Amino acid sequence: MQLERNILLNPGPSTTTDTVKMAQIVPDICPREKEFADIMRPMRDEFVKIVHGDIEEYTSVLFCGSGTICMDIALNSLLEEGKRALVINNGSYSQRAVDILKYYNMPFLEAKQSVIEPPNLIEIENILRSNKDIGYVYITYHETGTGLLNPVKEVGKIAHKYGAFLIADTTSAYAMIPINVYEENIDFCMASAQKGIMGMTGLSYIIGRRDIIERSRNFPKRSYYCNLYMQYEFFEATGEMHFTPPVQTIYAAKQALKEYWDEGELQKWNRHRRIMSAIREGIDRFGFREALERSVQAGLVTAILYPDDENWDFEKIHDYCYRHGFTIYPGKMQNHKTFRLCAFGAIDEQDIKRFWHVFEDAMRENRVSIPVVYNEVDDE
């Protein structure tokens, strides 16, 4: 079977290999069979090893859902009675964490920070110093709406100094940027199979400290379906998910993990960097501006400002690119009109070179000036 190869430059799901797609085609199986648990058991360890955790100290718990399910579960399951959460809020994904806490009516504090620069560590430390009841600090490793890289290691160090633990939403960095949970002071992190490991949607996982998960047995239960301890306990006892797992997605994840280890952590990160260099080459060539300085970006997503050109119409450019096999994505910033290009997935720099040719044709067809124009003078 020959499949069309679409290049997804949106922030997940990402382009997958044909071998990962085909891995889903398996004989029907009841996921309560031992054969199926035998696939998930090593997978749980592999998810821990990707972030260099010791499997005695860290474990991973798998869930059936998109990445947000892990945010929900980590936030609602890990807050002890009488404690408050602290969210470092500097983008649309950390805002989502705040929204989740509100939905559960959970007590929390918010460190609202600039969305275009790394957060102010002194302000964060001051909040922890003057609020002794913070159970965990929650931070987004890589804010996917803007491309901002957060100082997770430093924030984790501050959290630990004041007796709180650190939850990092690593969904858009995991298995792309090399992460070491010990070096970066991460107690919990999370990801989703359709992003870093280049698998299919529907499988997400929390990686975290066993001792804290064990303790969370006695924390308030705020959800029935979305509870970390319940799923952990079921996995430990049976090797299975409590409820029906995403069967075919798990077969794809098994293949994706094999391809992850075959490629290698550093080689993969270098490939993502190569892709981003090719993205930036086109940005510079056409005179586009980015919402954030490159020095503060993680190097996986960039938010590009719409040019001030009456012929610029994102939808039309998008549709042209889409018809030619390339998917680009709108931005997620409140005060700026942006679109995003992401260096995720099973692609490489030559795909980006082809993309810029198509993008240039799209701009010409729509009579967008090249190089692009901005009204305000760049103040650099």
Where on the chain is the footprint of ligand PLP (CB under 6 A)? 11-12, 66-68, 71, 93, 140, 144, 169, 171-172, 192
Residue that the structure tokens 């100082």 belong to: 151
Nearer to ligand PLP, 59 or 144 (CB): 144
How far is the C-alpha of 356 from the C-alpha of 371, rounded, in Å?
13
**What is the residue type of 350?**
Q
Q: Which is nearer to ligand PLP, 147 or 307 (CB)?
A: 147
- Closer residue to ligand PLP (CB): 15 or 144: 144
- Taking the CA atoms of residue 354, residue 360, residue 364 and residue 367 in that order, the dihedral angle to the nearest 10 degrees is 150
* Residue owning tokens 């679109």: 339
> Which CB sits closer to ligand PLP, 65 or 239?
65
How many Cβ atoms are within 10 Å of 30's Cβ, its own excluded? Answer: 9
**C-beta closer to ligand PLP: residue 72 or 320:** 72
Q: How far is the CB of 171 from ligand PLP (least distance, A)?
A: 4
CB of 363 to ligand PLP, least distance (A): 28
Can you tell me the distance from the alpha carbon of 40 to that of 52, in angstroms, rounded to the nearest whole number?
19
Both structure tokens of 47? 């998810």
d(CA 246, CA 296): 36
Q: How far is the CB of 163 from ligand PLP (least distance, A)?
A: 26
Residue with tokens 């319940």: 230
| Residue (70 or 278) nearer to ligand PLP, CB | 70
* Residues in a beta bridge with 108: 85
Rounded CA-CA distance 197/184 in Å is: 20
Collapsing DSSP to helix, strand or coil, 76 comes out as: helix
Cis status of the peptide bond prior to 178, with omega within 30 of 0: no
What contacts 284, CB < 8 A, 6 or more positions away?
Answer: none
Bridge partners, residue 62, by sequence: 205
Strand bridging mode 148-149 / 142-143 = antiparallel
Min dist. Cβ of residue 188 to ligand PLP (A): 13
**What residue number has its CB nearest to ligand PLP?**
67
CA distances from 285 to 93, 105, 278, 288, 366 (A): 30, 49, 11, 8, 18
Return the structure tokens found at 300: 């996986």
Rank residues 92 and 120 by Cβ distance to ligand PLP and give the closer one: 92
Query: Minimum distance from CB of 308 to ligand PLP (Å)?
Result: 29
Q: Could you tell me the smallest distance in angstroms from the CB atom of residue 70 to ligand PLP?
A: 7
Report the nearest approach of ligand PLP to the CB of residue 69 (Å).
7
Query: What Rg do the C-alpha atoms of the chain give, in angstroms?
Result: 21
Pick between residue 59 and residue 90 the one whose CB is nearest to ligand PLP: 90
Q: Write down the least CB distance from residue 63 to ligand PLP, Å.
A: 11
CB 114 to ligand PLP: min, Å: 17
Q: How far apart are CA 368 and CA 380, in angstroms?
A: 24
46 or 72: CB nearest ligand PLP = 72
